[in-house]
Amino acid sequence: MQMNFKGRARVYCASRAEGLGCDFSGTFLDIYERQIEWYLENFVIPDDYQKKILDAHCKLTTASDDIESRKEALKASLIRLKDQYR
């Protein structure tokens, strides 16, 4: 990042500064700042977002619980197979 003679900050690609072949000419920092401001002003978290997250978490918990019961069933099946083989 560099300041021009008017004191306006300009952002450049780090690869370009290191001479790594980037052809990006850079842009003024205030343009990026305005874009971020717009995004934050328009960012909306849905009212039911907490419920959606909790529902997703419950599904993950249920899935992991199912894995444990499946693991135990497979172990029991393996023991039975070993007994049959003998």
CA-CA distance, 10 to 2, in Å (whole number)? 5
> How is residue 40 written in tokens?
């934050």
CA-CA distance, 51 to 1, in Å (whole number)? 43
Are the CB atoms for 11 and 29 separated by under 8 Å?
Answer: yes
pLDDT at 38 over 70: yes
Instruction: Return the domain boundaries, the chain.
Output: 2-42, 46-86
pLDDT at 71 over 90: no
Answering whether pTM is above 0.85, one says: no
Predicted local distance difference test score (pLDDT) of residue 65:
65
